[in-house]
Structure 1
């Protein structure tokens, strides 16, 4: 592993494939910001819909039938969903505050960190949703299994596999 790029703080090793692009630091930051915004657009829509869904649940008649454990799972799930919403939307507000202040490097680095933590919270919220829904439909044992399977799948596909392939370079593209 090489030195990490200080400029982007995007966890890109110095000497990585980005240097093959022959772009200036400003061009690289613009590209990284644009890429991050595209990713956030996908996540923002999903987390906002999930949060809206979760916020209306207590007003449904069947919600009163949830026991203490499922109410706690629900509250943790709502907390994670709200946290994910805050972190995944924060780069937009940060951009407005830092606009024309020549702080794109900071914006990209901090937004990257917000996105990583926001996606972790979103994954936790999705696992919680699986637990609450499966508990209502098939019971507690199935709920914990569904929540665990959801969490394992999210960890595998959102983190483990991408981390495994992080420094792998496929020359067939």
Structure 2
């Protein structure tokens, strides 16, 4: 299970690291100074969420390195799995906040909250609902 978990983490890590790296550059662009206070607040929350998601998704690698050879693999897998789940939830929050900020800056439409909500529902369906349904439906008793 450890190998499978690490492969899953690698995929999520790459996405969160690219997103986080992009977020870190925004503050250094001239357009940042034009943001409203609300948009700057959304940006700050987004960066903090991205930092937390990055930490949670890199955590399993550090855990593995620090406990390797100590005969605690079942416990390490359990904790790494928890960190990965938390990381995915934080990644969902980061992507939601980033999408909200981008759409607020790109448009002035009142449809932005609806569009962001639809995307969040899509993420929740793909990342949580379908996997949980599959788990419940096909797990043998």
Give TM-score scaled by structure 1 length: 0.76
Deviations 1:134-155 (A, max 9, x none): 1111125243233222211111
CA–CA separation in structure 1 for the residues paired with 2:126 and 2:64: 29
Paired positions, count: 139
CA RMSD, aligned part only? Answer: 1.4
1:71 and 2:40 are equivalent in the alignment: yes
Give TM-score scaled by structure 2 length: 0.92
User: 1:132 touches 1:143 (CA, 8 Å); kept in 2?
Assistant: no
Residue 92 of structure 1: SS of its match in structure 2?
Answer: helix
The equivalent residue for 2:20 is: 51
The equivalent residue for 2:128 is: 159
User: 1:130 touches 1:143 (CA, 8 Å); kept in 2?
Assistant: no
Return the offset for 1:103.
Answer: 1.1
Runs of at least 5 residues in structure 2 that lack an aligned partner in the other structure: none
Return the offset for 1:53.
Answer: 0.3
Return the offset for 1:118.
Answer: 0.3
Larger RCO of the pair (alpha carbons < 8 Å, separation 6+): 2
The equivalent residue for 2:91 is: 122
Runs of at least 5 residues in structure 1 that lack an aligned partner in the other structure: 1-31
Moved more, 121-130 or 133-142: 133-142
The equivalent residue for 1:168 is: 137
1:85 and 2:54 are equivalent in the alignment: yes
1:136 and 2:113 are equivalent in the alignment: no
Return the offset for 1:162.
Answer: 1.6
CA–CA separation in structure 1 for the residues paired with 2:117 and 2:136: 29
The structure richer in helix per residue is 2
Return the offset for 1:68.
Answer: 1.4
The equivalent residue for 1:39 is: 8
Return the offset for 1:119.
Answer: 0.3
